[in-house]
């Protein structure tokens, strides 16, 4: 089964932020609002796409784009099926569908609960049994306003949703992604949503003189509304590195989505930052933070539709984006906490802990 040609890397790349501006600053927000990513126009004909957090925000708009770009099946993974069905109807209306589409499927996924993640993956296996999964967008995430331990798992909610359930879902989806890669002779795509805020994390923010870093971060005394969130997004980069190293073995070579100049891989894994985007992710935060957030959104916020463009373009990068951080239509530096020797050692240690939690759940 042949796939339609995709854009070249040069066509996907845009103008990067000015040198010295950084990514996690008010100036960068303002620049990003004035320079949104390009709206990808490539074909996803014949492809099966799954998006978590797909009923609102950038996840919803990415789902709509994938559907409009011809994906044969778009799976909306949502916590609340009723909201997912509403999103499906909105996408169908935007596409001008007079009848319900069999190509848009709503499936329940509660990232608060390991059991729900595993059940979702099992049902997804049945849904895509023949063709496998071409694109997985792991976008669901939270910014918790206060410390809350998930009763069923014992993990703080941000670590549970943004880190551990994301890693578990990624690992669980790998066989489905590899099945599609074998069918196509080219890499499937796994993309996770991170944040430029991860670049603000320093070694002092991560407790290392402890038996378990994850358990130390899980303590109530370690929680901070912003600090816990940005640390969780750093750990998404660590998950990406772990998946690249441990889960993306080669497949028989064929022309990749962006050319065939790199060794073939089964699953291309990358991470995106959508920029400072107007969404409801901070709902429930204290009043003063909500007001400040609204002011920042007015000054330097992208629309959710604009932010979603990075999810779609990231799914087109193929081998060129493997192991990379995509934002503002360019590859951005992953920061000291990832690229330095100290960061690499920390990544290896934390990935081992994350992977261990996931493997225990899969026993």
Torsions phi, psi of 234, nearest 5? Answer: -65, -40
Dihedral sign from CA coordinates of 142, 144, 147, 151: negative
* Catalytically annotated residue among 65, 233, 276, 324: 233
Decide: 304 and 53 in contact? Cβ < 8 Å. Answer: no
Q: Is 147 exposed, middle or buried (0-12, 13-18, 19+ CB in 10 A)?
A: middle
Contacts 24+ apart (CB under 8 A), 228-231: 228/144, 228/156, 228/158, 228/159, 229/143, 229/144, 229/158, 229/162, 229/195, 229/197, 230/195, 230/197, 230/198, 230/200, 230/201, 231/198, 231/201, 231/205, 231/206
Beta-carbon count within 10 A of 356 CB:
12
> What gap in Å lies between CA 124 and CA 134, rounded to an integer?
13
60 is catalytic: no
Q: Give the three-state DSSP class for 279.
A: coil
229 is catalytic: yes
* Catalytically annotated residue among 47, 88, 178, 229: 229
Return the active site residues.
229, 233
């Amino acid at each position: 089964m042949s796939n339609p040609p995709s854009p070249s890397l040069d066509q996907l790349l845009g103008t990067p932020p000015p040198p010295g501006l950084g990514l996690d600053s008010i100036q960068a927000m303002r620049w990003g609002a004035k320079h949104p990513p390009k709206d990808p126009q490539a074909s996803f004909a014949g492809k099966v796409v799954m998006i978590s957090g797909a009923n609102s925000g950038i996840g919803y708009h990415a789902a709509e784009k994938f559907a409009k770009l011809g994906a044969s099946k778009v799976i909306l993974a949502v916590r609340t099926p009723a909201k997912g069905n509403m999103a499906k109807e909105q996408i169908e209306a935007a596409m001008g569908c007079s009848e319900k589409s069999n190509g848009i499927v709503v499936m329940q996924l509660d990232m608060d609960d390991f059991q729900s993640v595993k059940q979702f993956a099992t049902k997804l296996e049945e849904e895509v049994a023949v063709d496998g999964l071409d694109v997985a967008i792991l976008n669901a995430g939270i910014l918790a306003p206060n410390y809350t331990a998930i009763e069923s798992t014992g993990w703080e909610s941000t670590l549970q949703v943004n880190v551990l359930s994301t890693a578990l879902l990624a690992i669980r989806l790998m066989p489905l992604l590899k099945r599609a890669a074998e069918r196509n002779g080219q890499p499937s795509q796994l993309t996770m949503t991170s944040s430029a805020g991860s670049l603000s994390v320093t070694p002092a923010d991560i407790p290392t003189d402890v038996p378990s870093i994850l358990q130390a971060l899980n303590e109530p005394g370690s929680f901070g509304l912003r600090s816990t969130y940005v640390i969780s997004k750093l750990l998404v980069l660590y998950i990406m590195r772990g998946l690249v190293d441990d889960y993306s073995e080669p497949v028989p070579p064929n022309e990749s989505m962006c050319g065939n100049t790199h060794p073939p891989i089964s699953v291309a894994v990358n991470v995106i930052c959508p920029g400072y985007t107007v969404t409801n992710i901070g709902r429930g935060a204290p009043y003063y933070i909500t007001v400040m957030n609204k002011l920042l959104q007015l000054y330097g916020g992208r629309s959710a539709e604009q932010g979603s463009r990075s999810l779609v373009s990231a799914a087109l990068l193929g081998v060129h984006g493997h192991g990379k951080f995509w934002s503002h239509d360019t590859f951005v530096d992953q920061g000291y906490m990832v690229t330095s020797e100290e960061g690499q050692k920390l990544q290896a240690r934390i990935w081992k802990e994350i992977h261990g939690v996931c493997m225990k759940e899969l026993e």
